[in-house]
Chain A
């Protein structure tokens, strides 16, 4: 079953002769349980596609169905709820709040989901255990290494058990060894059934996914599926 369905989705800035296409009308379907890499040079539209898929931005044209719901026309607050329930985000710069502990950072999405405090706590602890940081619950981001910070960010992304995990250059700020461990966590999550979409320009990272979608000039120019046996 398709989790993501982009139907002639485009993003333009300006109007008339000055119209700039960030994304030309694009058709893309990603099935539930898939593990996709989106690659392409900068300015290729991959980040725009990522923002639209993540409901962080609205397309100018076309229809976007996420998990069966038409989201391209939703109001800002409804999109916030979709992001909260259905999508987990992992960014290159981690974006952890410095004044909060690892545990509190991970609990944040559940705060916005209005979950009761004891449930937040136990689930945030589980998520941190899962990324191997069960012993770092009360450390602040400044007391953690880059890899550890990214693992806190992953725990935060999965704590609301989203169907889709979106990662924007998740290993861009990490060394290769740390990147390996982060990719291993992603592979685990995918094996448990989570759909992953990852923007990257690291071809080694892209090779670990089972589908690679290439953007150039606001369009999809290649969409290749790696043999299942090679995945991970």
Chain B
């Protein structure tokens, strides 16, 4: 026969309440540990969600072809990272059936002017397919069309911020801007898109890729077709994405004359990018959680420390309890439960603080942090377990005290 748990817990609360300052300070470690586990895990998951959303905003059936072999680092597989050409993009559009739109992109950061107004902007040479592949919408006018591509006319579509900087409240349509002393006629303005991966997509000027290659960046020596940095491709639908990936790889290997050699380009689907990002952000969550876990552990050691002091201080109480009939296990249960109660109350307060910090994070940063029930459950049970584990040593010490020795101490 041993006294029951509820009774012990009530007794523990009374005892801890009688020594509020000490109990509070003891709990502080657990409070901070618990709050940081919950907040850190939430921050990590929010970052994960943020990155995932960024990739998903690209569209689910998008594929990217970039020069060099990503498996072996950028630029590997070729001496220079200019192995992709406009002709490759044209070949893909013509020959790969699983693909519905192909948008080669040749980008350079350049000064764009209109009279006295000027701005630095990403000038992107591309084709009309960019509109569908990159899922952009226009605020005014139109995007590049096949006629523009064919004619290589000096026309430009402006990102919303470039339009605002250069034209203010005026309507930019049919006006002209200058890039590298070439005059372009504005035919459209893209609706605001926000930033993606830290790059402001509204700071862009879109011009026909032919104009970009021939007049803006200039002809490249020894190239029959201008090089491009990226070929973005839309698969016909999600199910065709891997077929497109396979077919494009084969086509490009053939075109680049690779038989034994490794690829000098990389085809990545949105899924590949997501997986890569997830493996990085998973690690981030793990590192954050681990760091916070250490503070939880330190909090637990704090509990053990104070409980050991408490056993020493309360030797007479232990002696008295034993004299009136408490068994060893009653005493050890009492001290263990005190430690658990400390840890669990500390855990509850820490959880509250953690949730509060998540709310603050969500309100003040672009991260959307969720309160993870899993993290709460884990840190709660971990703090309970910490109370149990770190309560055991002091509790055993208390239980083994000899009643007469304890009473006369």
Identify the A interface with B (CB < 8 A).
51, 54, 56-57, 76-77, 80-81, 83-85, 89, 91, 93, 95, 97-100, 108-109, 111-114, 156, 160
Contacts and interface: CB of A to CB of B under 8 A. Distances in A.
Contacts of B407: 56, 91, 95
Nearest to A78: B327
B43 to A, nearest CB: 41
A109 B18 contact: no
Contacts of A83: 322-325, 403
B1 A114 contact: yes
A93 B319 CA distance: 13
Interface string B319-354: 111111111111000000000000000000000000
Contacts of B320: 91, 95, 97
Given A77-B327, A83-B322, A99-B18, 11 more contacts: A51-B404, A54-B323, A56-B407, A77-B328, A83-B324, A84-B324, A95-B317, A95-B320, A111-B3, A112-B321, A112-B325
Interface of B: 1-3, 7, 14-15, 17-18, 316-317, 319-330, 402-404, 407
24 contacts: A54-B323, A56-B403, A56-B407, A57-B402, A57-B403, A77-B328, A77-B329, A80-B322, A80-B326, A81-B327, A83-B325, A89-B324, A95-B316, A95-B407, A97-B320, A99-B14, A99-B15, A99-B17, A99-B18, A109-B324, A111-B7, A112-B3, A112-B325, A160-B325
A56 B323 contact: yes
A85 B327 CA distance: 13
A80 B15 contact: no
A89 B323 CA distance: 7
A80 B325 contact: yes
A59 to B, nearest CB: 12
Contacts of A56: 322-323, 403-404, 407
Contacts of B327: 76-77, 80-81, 112
Contact of B325 (A93, A95, A100, A109): A109
Contact of A108 (B18, B316, B319, B324): B324
A112 B8 CA distance: 11
Contacts of A84: 324-325
A95 B326 CA distance: 15
A127 B246 CA distance: 90
Contacts of B403: 56-57, 83
B338 to A, nearest CB: 12
Contacts of A100: 14
Nearest to A153: B320
Given A98-B18, A99-B18, A156 B324 contact: yes
Interface on chain B toward A: helix, strand, loop, or mixed SS?
A: helix
A112 B2 CA distance: 7
Contacts of B15: 99
A18 B97 CA distance: 102
B13 to A, nearest CB: 10
A114 B324 contact: no
Nearest to A101: B14
Contacts of A95: 316-317, 319-320, 323, 407
A80 B327 CA distance: 6
Nearest to B330: A112
Nearest to A54: B323
Given A85-B325, A112-B330, A57 B18 contact: no
A108 B321 contact: yes
A97 B3 contact: no
A162 to B, nearest CB: 10
A114 B3 contact: yes
A81 B404 contact: no
A106 B69 CA distance: 81
B327 to A, nearest CB: 4
B401 to A, nearest CB: 11
Contacts of B324: 83-84, 89, 108-109, 112, 156
The 8 closest A-B pairs by CB, nearest first: A84-B325, A99-B18, A112-B325, A95-B320, A56-B404, A109-B324, A77-B327, A57-B404
Contacts of A109: 324-325
A85 B321 CA distance: 14
B18 A112 contact: no
Contacts of B325: 80-81, 83-85, 109, 112-113, 160
Contacts of A99: 14-15, 17-18
A107 B330 CA distance: 15
Contacts of B402: 57
A41 B157 CA distance: 109
Contacts of A112: 3, 321, 324-327, 330
Nearest to B19: A99
Contacts of A91: 320, 407
Contacts of B2: 114
A160 B323 CA distance: 13
A54 B328 CA distance: 17
Nearest to A157: B324
A146 to B, nearest CB: 17
Interface centre among A51, A89, A97 (most CB of B within 10 A): A97
A81 B404 CA distance: 16
A77 B1 CA distance: 10
Contacts of B3: 111-112, 114
Nearest to B319: A95
B37 to A, nearest CB: 32
